[in-house]
């Protein structure tokens, strides 16, 4: 009698375990093999392929470079490749960092980047316009027409540019530019412009003559330069007192005062 109940209880236990196991299996399969999950799996795979095709379609395949003349091409290439390695997608890359890095290069004044959909960009750069050589404490620097110091040079004679010397050259750069543009015939003859602390200028010509200009009315004095610029053995022509006299120093240390004729 006891064995019968024992076997009966064991059977009930086995049936209960079987029912619970079946229920668990049913719930597991219904969760993982439901139509919704199957649909989600298909959608996920579809959108993954779609994104891949989208990225490939807008992947930058060509970079056009315009306006480069003096800038080192390898420096530009390094900046561009670094930007594209981070993001090759023409939509996702805003090129802000690339623009900043390009404009930090010595020769580049301004850089603009245009997206040409779907897969190429155009980089247009504006380089500094070389204007003169700045002399400062026996060092020489190339400067642009806007006063930007480009870089130091060791041999100023290798450049066909006027040298600017003085503590206030950059502050007076606008006046220097105006003076040079107003005297195109004189420009090829000038090798150096020295700006004194009081604002007065000295000019040095190719044949080594030093012209001392007055503080005011520089243009009137400049008209006199052409009379002396081609003379030999002249060392200094002092035009500071132009209205009264012109002092000329010959290389043999002799000074002559030329009195201006009354007009």
With a pLDDT cut of 70, the percent of the chain lying above it is 75
Please give the backbone phi and psi of residue 65, each rounded to the nearest 5 degrees, phi first: -120, 125
State residue 261's pLDDT score.
Answer: 47
250: closest CA among 215, 208, 192, 222? 208
Binning pLDDT at 50, 70 and 90, where does residue 15 land? low
Answer whether residue 95 shows pLDDT above 50: yes
pLDDT tens-digit map of 28-87: 555 555 555 544 454 555 445 445 555 677 899 999 999 999 999 999 999 999 999 988
Nearest to residue 222, comparing CAs of 183, 181, 176, 177? 183
Give the model's pLDDT for residue 26: 54
Residue-level pLDDT at 123: 96
């Amino acid at each position: 009698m006891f064995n019968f109940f024992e076997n009966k209880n064991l059977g009930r236990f086995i049936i209960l375990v079987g029912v619970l196991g079946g229920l668990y299996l049913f719930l597991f399969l219904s969760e993982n093999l439901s139509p919704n999950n199957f649909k989600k799996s298909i959608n996920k795979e579809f959108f993954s392929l779609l994104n891949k095709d989208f990225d490939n379609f807008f992947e930058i395949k060509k970079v056009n470079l315009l306006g480069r003349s003096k800038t080192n091409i390898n420096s530009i290439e390094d900046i561009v490749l670094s930007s594209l390695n981070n993001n090759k997608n023409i939509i996702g890359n805003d090129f802000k960092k690339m623009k900043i890095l390009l404009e930090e290069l010595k020769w580049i004044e301004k850089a603009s980047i245009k997206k040409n959909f779907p897969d190429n960009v155009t980089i247009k750069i504006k380089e500094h316009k070389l204007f003169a050589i700045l002399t400062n404490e026996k060092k020489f620097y190339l400067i642009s027409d806007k006063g930007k110091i480009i870089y130091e040079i060791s041999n100023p004679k290798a450049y066909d540019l006027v040298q600017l010397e003085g503590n206030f050259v950059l502050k007076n750069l606008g006046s220097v530019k105006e003076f040079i543009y107003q005297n195109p015939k004189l420009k090829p003859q000038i090798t150096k412009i020295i700006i004194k602390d009081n604002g007065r200028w000295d000019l040095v010509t190719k044949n080594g003559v030093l012209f001392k200009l007055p503080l005011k009315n520089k243009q009137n004095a400049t008209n006199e330069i052409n009379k002396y610029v081609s003379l030999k053995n002249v060392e200094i022509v002092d035009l500071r007192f132009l209205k009264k006299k012109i002092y000329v120093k010959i290389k043999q240390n002799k000074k002559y005062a030329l009195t201006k004729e009354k007009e």
